[in-house]
Structure formats: C-alpha cells, structure tokens
C-alpha cells in the first residue's frame, strides 16, 4: 500500500482523470503530508511531479528535496524524468530510491536500457498509463498507437522488472480499480505491477492484495476520507 502525493506548483493536489483543469489542492505543505503518511506506518511514498510530466521539465525540485529530507521511508518519483542527467540527479544527489520513467520509456527505449545498465533494475520503474487500451504520454495529454500489453512485453524484454499501471479513465474517480485490466497483465506478464487509479475504499486495497498484486497506490481515497490508511496498513503493510 503506497500513499501518493501529486505535486503541482509546489502543492499537493489531485487531478480528475488526468485533467489539469480539474485540480483539487489537498495540502500547501507536501512535506508535512509525507510525514503524516510515515507516522501512519507507510513503508513507501509515491511522488509525481505533474508540472514535470506536462512540460518535460523538473519543476518541483525544491519541494521534492524537502520531502526527502523530512521522511526516512523510501520514495519513488515520476514526472518529467526523460534523460539520464535527471535520473542521476534524483537517485544519486537527492536520494530518491527509485524513479518512474513514463513518456521517455515509450519514445526512447534506449534511454531505459541506459538506466538499467547504470542502476539496479529495482531502482528503475516504468509507468504504463492506459487510455482505452493504449499508452498515454506527456502527462496524459497525448495517446499513442501502442497497445498497452505490447508495451509491457517490450519493457519485459529489455529487463524492466516493475511497472506502475494506471487506468486513466479511473484515476481520481473513486470508482474502483480496473481489475480486469490488472488480471490481464497478471496473466500475460511476469513483472511486478503497481495498481494505480480508482481506489475507493479499504476493500479495493484488500482485494488487490488477495489477488497477489505487487502493490497498490492510494491517493484521492485517502484525501477524501474513504480509506482508513492505518487500518489498511495494519492488514497489508
């Protein structure tokens, strides 16, 4: 169970179905929110730089560094990480534990290979963001013609071990995860995958655990009070 903080303009926000115009601010001090998660027993933190994802640049670096300095739990970070220099900066300088590659992984497979050659596979994760069965990029503003399972198989072939898979149509909706999507991945791939998007309550997380999925990201459901984080952590870790 991995709590999520999405960063935009230095604030912790959530978008509705990836729409940058439908934004809700949940905290003006994301580092304090991260500390709250840690106190609840969270063992990992999921960070997304939404500005970076949209504009192909790391825009929340100071906030990310502040969060890193505030908590001791491991952190994974995605959004705008599209060259080896940015990977080096976050993994080697800031102390982020693993980075999530998105757009770059689809458009430049060689970049992913370069990252895997330089760092252990446990530190390089790829985000597979799915819209109507196809992979979306650039902060979900563009949809490719690559079918998501084909992309997952390509990643597996080059040595990627872990993916974060988000059904964009579910993200921020509190309507439940796309379990059919995740079962398809489970039955067609050996990679660890993180369920992301749509989680509405404790039962969704427990169901993901019962099905043997690697992990589950929780964002809006916590902020809206429909998930009891401490209770879930006590059950699944």
Phi-psi region of 188 (alpha: psi -120 to 50; beta: other; left: phi over 0): alpha
212, 233 contact by CB (below 8 A): no
Paired strand residues for 37: none
Residues that are catalytic: 6, 129
Per-domain boundaries in the chain = 2-236
The pTM of the whole model exceeds 0.75 = yes
Instruction: Dump pLDDT digits (tens) for 149-182.
Output: 999 999 999 999 999 999 988 888 889 999 999 9
Of the chain, the percentage scoring pLDDT greater than 70 comes to 97
Instruction: Dump pLDDT digits (tens) for 209-224.
Output: 999 999 999 999 999 9
Residue 196's SS3 state is strand
Give the CATH number of domain 2-236.
3.20.20.70
State how far the Cα of 121 lies from the Cα of 115, in Å rounded to an integer.
8
Paired strand residues for 23: 15
Tokens representing residue 18 in the block: 């990836």
State how far the Cα of 228 lies from the Cα of 164, in Å rounded to an integer.
22
pLDDT of residue 169: 87
């Amino acid at each position: 169970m991995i709590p999520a903080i999405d960063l935009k303009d230095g604030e912790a926000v959530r978008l509705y179905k990836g729409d940058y115009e439908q934004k809700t601010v949940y905290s003006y001090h994301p580092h304090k929110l991260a500390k709250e998660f840690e106190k609840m027993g969270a063992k990992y933190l999921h960070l997304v730089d939404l500005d970076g994802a949209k504009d192909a640049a790391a825009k929340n670096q100071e906030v990310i560094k502040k969060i890193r300095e505030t908590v001791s739990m491991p952190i994974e970070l995605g959004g705008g990480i599209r060259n080896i220099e940015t990977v080096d900066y976050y993994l080697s300088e800031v102390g982020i534990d693993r980075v999530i590659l998105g757009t770059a992984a689809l458009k430049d497979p060689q970049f992913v290979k370069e990252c895997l050659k330089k760092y252990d596979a446990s530190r390089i994760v790829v985000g597979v963001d799915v819209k109507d069965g196809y992979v979306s990029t650039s902060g979900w503003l563009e949809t490719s013609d690559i079918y998501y399972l084909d992309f997952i198989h390509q990643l597996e072939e080059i040595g990627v071990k872990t993916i974060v898979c988000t059904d964009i149509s579910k993200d921020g909706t509190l309507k439940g995860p796309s379990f059919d999507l995740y079962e398809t991945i489970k039955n067609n791939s050996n990679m660890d995958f993180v369920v992301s998007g749509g989680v509405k309550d404790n039962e969704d997380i427990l169901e993901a655990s019962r099905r043997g999925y690697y992990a589950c990201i929780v964002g809006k459901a916590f902020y809206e009070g429909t998930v009891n984080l401490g209770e879930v952590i006590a059950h699944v870790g």
